[in-house]
Structure 1
Amino acid sequence: MEQLANINSQVAMYITNVGFERWARAYSPGKRYNLTSSNIAEAMNNAIKVCMELPITGVIDCIRGVLQRWFYDRRTSAGKLKSTLTTKADVNIGVKDEKARYLMVYPITYYSFLVKDEDLDGTIDLTSKTCTCREFDMDGLPCEHALACIRV
């Protein structure tokens, strides 16, 4: 924050007043499941751009058609999944699991572990699904540290 204040004190003050939970994932109370954007309005505007010159009933019919197509496509894609996770989450966990193979795990209790990592050591509690790296807490998906513990 100090660096930001040196560059632009008004922006630093605004960000502080808004609250860290509004813009910093680590302070957000909700789980984002590794999503960094939720701008559905922008996606909808792009999808219905072609029908904005139509009368209101035409615009509404266009919106219905877009939503119908989106729901059908997602339902079809979901029906093909082999896991309860989305494809992106499944791939993400696969990459993390590959890295987790090389981490050293030291049990603290039956469900708590210390995981030694070259970059950032982590203390994991599998019952509360938390890790000191905060990735497990924020994303709701296991971090490398948690995956290393699950392997033990």
Structure 2
Amino acid sequence: MAGLKETYHKVYDELQGVGIKQFSCAHSPSKRYLFMITYIIESMNSCLVAVQKLPITAMAECIRDLLQKWFYDLRTNASEMSTYLITFAYEHIKDRTDIAQRCEIHLIHFNKFKVDDKWKKTTVDLDESSCSCRE
């Protein structure tokens, strides 16, 4: 951030205005979207360690082969899927749906609800995006 402040102070000021928790995984209070973000270059570097010392044309051919295999595998997996969601997301939603179906929901006031299940009773406020269970 110090380097950014020295080089691009307008960008630095803009990011500070947004708040560091909005763009920094290290400062985020929780994982976003249930996974931590990694960059594709990290994956590429780990796959290309063995070919980094090859001549550039041979290395480019290896990169092309690797990407072609990745896209083929992704396309094949996608064509075999029975849902529009990836398996992880589908299972997560299915688990949450099963839990939700066991709950009784009672309206308290417009966007405020009491949710009862076998183990706990909570209050959910949609306006405040809060829940008494703090989840």
Question: Which TM class, normalised by the smaller chain length?
Answer: 0.5 to 0.7
Could you tell me how far 1:66 is from its partner in structure 2?
1.0
Q: Distance in 1 between matches of 2:50 and 2:88?
A: 30
Could you tell me how far 1:104 is from its partner in structure 2?
2.6
Which residue is 2:104 aligned to?
104
Which residue is 2:125 aligned to?
123
Could you tell me how far 1:103 is from its partner in structure 2?
2.5
Give the alignment's TM-score, normalised by structure 2.
0.63
Q: Structure 2: 5+ residue runs without aligned partners?
A: 1-15
Which has the higher Rg, Structure 1 or Structure 2? 2
Q: Structure 1: 5+ residue runs without aligned partners?
A: 1-16, 27-31, 134-143, 145-152
Mapping for residues 1-152 of structure 1, pairs under 5 Å? 19-21=20-22, 22-23=24-25, 24=28, 33-107=33-107, 108-109=109-110, 112=111, 114-116=113-115, 118=120, 121-124=123-126, 131-132=129-130
| Identity fraction in percent | 29
Give the alignment's TM-score, normalised by structure 1.
0.57
How far does the alpha carbon of each residue in 1:1-44 deviate from its partner, in whole angstroms, 9 at most, with x for none? xxxxxxxxxxxxxxxx6711123267xxxxx5433223222211
Q: Distance in 2 between matches of 1:58 and 1:115?
A: 63
* Aligned structure 1 segments of 4 or more residues deviating by more than 4 angstroms: none
Structure 1 residue matching 2:113: 3-state secondary structure: strand
